[in-house]
Amino acid sequence: MTERIYSTRQYERETTATVVDVDRDDGRVLLDRTVFYPGGGGQPHDVGDLWIGDDRLRVVRVGDDGRGVWHWLDPGDGLPGAGQQLSARVDWDRRYRLMRTHTAMHALCGVVWSRFASPVTGGNMEPGEGRLDFELPAWDPEDRDPLEDELNRQLLAARPVEVSFLPRDDADRDPSLIRTKVSLLPSSLRQVRVVDIVGLDRQADGGTHVADTTEVGRIRIVKVESKGKGFRRIRLRLDDA
């Protein structure tokens, strides 16, 4: 299994690693440890580079399976062999923007839950922007500006963002950890990672986040769309995106 450094040390940009397997037909390598997030929960996978001395191998895709985290390389760069030691470096500017975006989306979940007690029905993000779908039968267009104001007020409150882990049985006994309409936790998961924006939002999540809400900066709600009777899609953007 790959040591997933991003799961507990989200600010680490680089690590040494060893190639433990190579899939030459698919152009990918399995590493014993990585800083690359493989994607999930609406957050895209990381990109970046593997370095062997001065030789750069561009990571264009990352994913995981039961064996660990796989890194797909640009076909023009070639593939290292099993046992090769290398340096893995994530594209930090992109990753950090995703961290800020992801934390903003969790904060929006907390603000919407506090006001409407409405679950999330879907979501997605790119660096600097994202969207969340909510079941909001009582939505009024006049709610948009107060919602944006409250979201930014909460972000400016310098709330710490903490990561912890719970045994699956304990997590299953705490329904508040699931803010989605339907639980997305796979049945095989035996330990649940919990992201807590202290005092605002606490939920099961595998993605990367900033350590303090002030790092997010100001957020704009750029659009609220109807997605059918009683459902709304809220699009947000980092103010400096």
User: Per-domain residue ranges for the chain?
Assistant: 16-90, 95-238
Evaluated on CA atoms 8, 14, 18, 24, the torsion sign reads positive
Q: What percent of the chain has pLDDT over 90?
A: 80
Helix (H) or strand (E) holding 135: strand 129-135
Phi-psi region of 68 (alpha: psi -120 to 50; beta: other; left: phi over 0): left
Q: Please give the C-alpha separations between residue 158 and each of 129, 133, 139, in angstroms, as whole numbers.
A: 21, 26, 28
Contact call for residues 230 and 116 (beta carbons, < 8 A): no
Residue 51 CB neighbours (<10 A): 15
Asked if residue 126 has pLDDT above 80, the reply is: yes
Structurally, at CATH architecture level, domain 16-90 sits in Beta Barrel (2.40)
Pairing assessment for the beta strands 33-34 and 3-4 based on DSSP bridges: parallel
Q: pLDDT tens, 145-188?
A: 999 999 999 999 999 999 999 887 776 666 666 555 445 555 66
Is there a common fold for 16-90 and 95-238?
no
Q: Which helix (H) or strand (E) holds 16?
A: strand 14-23
Task: Give the per-residue pLDDT at 170.
Answer: 72
Query: Is residue 86 predicted with pLDDT exceeding 70?
Result: yes
Q: How far apart are CA 68 and CA 237, in angstroms?
A: 32
The yes/no answer on whether domain 95-238 falls in CATH 3.30.980.10 is yes
Under DSSP, is residue 110 helix (H, G, I), strand (E, B) or coil? helix
